[in-house]
Chain A
């Protein structure tokens, strides 16, 4: 029949498509894992990490050269992101249980929240209890507490940090200025004005990139020490309060007047490069920068002095953060995932780094034993004491002058903060870039924050 080859071909085409779709539906290539979460000690471990020098420069190479060789049955794949993207990708993965990541790099913001939702494996009971060599009691108490929920660890720290002020001793000397060990922000502002050489050296370099872990991290510490807060005890947003506005105006104006150009695009990585190229007279940022400056820019490091995070109304103001590794509940290859996690956060890992990159390069701020290790103290003597003192001086439970209902120094540990912190950060970046005034930015931020009812916020 004339029609049958035609029909046949059409049917074949339809069948092909159907087969394709069926095959696609059945295939589980990279789609995640069975809900039961097999506990095997081998397989592929996909790790979501932030793109930082200590990770791209140390963790990843060492994983390939040491860990995978010691564990031939385990393959480690890394997915690196910038901080804002990392958070979004991880939260999306963990909350929808797509289980694309076996190990996630999170911090004190996510750990308690995810643990509360049952999204993380309880590391204390499931793994550390049966792994005596891990020595969880060696972890710095404030860091361990920040990663715990109801007394159990849900993530273990890769490195910990507070914030401090870096300055160029040579430029200060040339200008006849002295930096005190515990400066105030007004002192810092006057230093910046005197040291600013437009086109050559910025008086101060500060974060401006939109993100609650980027520009808001720095700004929040300034807000706290100026006496402001995000929410009062009744969970009403305080973003247009005088203290908050003073702090924000101070930060934005300092940046616009004596800060680096194009600041609204700058966060840790960009500023590290700028400071290392000698373009910043001062730089307020994470304590972990000291490690990178010392290892990557030794000539600048030789000229670098360290001061505690500047204050105003409080005696200390550094933030507390740790990039740590956790395991989402229900992933496959949990045993292999723990093997990697425990290796990367162990004392032995520190020795590996020391052997390959020098003691000064070891990830700081995680273990007490590191800060009584003579080799480390000798190599990092310029910044180790101030780092540990900064971390010890933080209190996330009481971050502000006035009492507040939330936990967190440079963040508010509620689920809504993930997006609220970002939108406020975007407004602040706009103010820094000059596309809006500080008043406008804060008014928009206040109305963004007012979208949530106190009941919603306190439930988180």
Chain B
């Protein structure tokens, strides 16, 4: 595949290199402005205010309001073991959920790519977890599925020698990650399936005629073809999973201890239970900076995702 420098598919109408008339330029800009101004106002203003509060000492429950405190919030953020731990945990949870979901997604897509009896039904069953409200999924897993005294999982695992495990106490992090995987595997499956179904059948036929085995065909032909799809799935999944909040809040409330506290939950607790607006703001600023760094790399990969359109053209 040729490497193309273009970052996204080119526009329909050529941008005249010599520049257009000022009126034309404004004609083109105007439709963009409402959305642009809207997004700038709604997303950047809160960030600026957060930046300001990060230098203030402001606790809701301390009368007297906000007062300037310099960099002390940032010092706390960098020395606070809790923040660092929740950062690491966020990375671990996101990475493991995304990777496992993608591996399962590829496997499921391969299975669903064949024709068999009731294929549509199975496909419908497989995408359902993604459609369940995340809050509902978290509560249903926490109660009817994983409860030590009446949960379905314990009953299903009984023949395997598992007895009344209190999943949310002893395997809390794994349980939360399992729910995240359960909800996002369908997404990965659908994307990879679209990739499989867009594979030109003639190359596959040719490989078969040449005598290539199934595994070799997969490795040499299919996997490279699927690469942009897999990258898209990983990118989108990561964007959403890094902000995963519902499962942590509703299954374990960040516990036991702080063993399932990820970054969104940590910030949520700082604001709503410790009432520490200043500290949460500083932590938020640090989070945003880290996200920008990661996103820069991610966007480069994202750009490559659209290369395949160019190469085919």
Residues of A at under 8 Å CB distance from B? Answer: 3, 6-7, 10, 13-14, 16-17, 84, 88, 91-92, 95-96, 117-118, 199, 210, 261-265, 274, 279, 415, 418-419, 422, 426-427, 429-436, 441
Contact = CB atoms under 8 A, between A and B. Distances in A.
Contact of B259 (A88, A261, A435): A435
Contacts of A210: 253, 255-257
> Which 10 residue pairs across A and B have the least CB separation, nearest first?
A430-B257, A262-B166, A433-B256, A10-B30, A433-B169, A419-B274, A262-B148, A264-B256, A13-B34, A95-B60
A448 B257 CA distance: 13
Contacts of A16: 34
Give the dominant DSSP class at B's interface: loop
Interface in B19-75: 23, 27, 30-31, 33-34, 37-38, 60-63
Nearest to B29: A10
Nearest to B41: A21
Contact of A262 (B147, B253, B273): B147
Contacts of A91: 60-61, 275
Interface of B: 23, 27, 30-31, 33-34, 37-38, 60-63, 147-149, 163-164, 166, 168-170, 172, 253-259, 272-276
Given A415-B62, A433-B169, A426 B254 contact: yes
A3 B23 contact: yes
Contacts of B257: 210, 426-427, 429-431, 433, 435-436, 441
A117 B60 contact: no
Given A17-B34, A264-B256, 7 more contacts: A3-B27, A17-B38, A92-B275, A199-B164, A262-B166, A415-B61, A422-B274
B279 to A, nearest CB: 11
Contacts of B31: 6, 10, 13
Given A96-B60, A265-B168, A415-B62, A432 B256 contact: yes
A92 B62 CA distance: 11
B272 A199 contact: no
Contacts of A435: 172, 256-257, 259
Contacts of B168: 262, 265
A436 B31 CA distance: 57
Give the dominant DSSP class at A's interface: helix
A92 to B, nearest CB: 6
Contacts of A436: 257
A431 B60 CA distance: 30
A430 B258 contact: yes
B31 to A, nearest CB: 6
A418 B163 contact: no
21 contacts: A6-B27, A7-B27, A16-B34, A17-B37, A91-B60, A91-B275, A95-B61, A118-B63, A261-B149, A261-B166, A261-B169, A263-B169, A265-B166, A265-B168, A415-B61, A419-B276, A426-B256, A430-B257, A433-B172, A434-B170, A435-B172
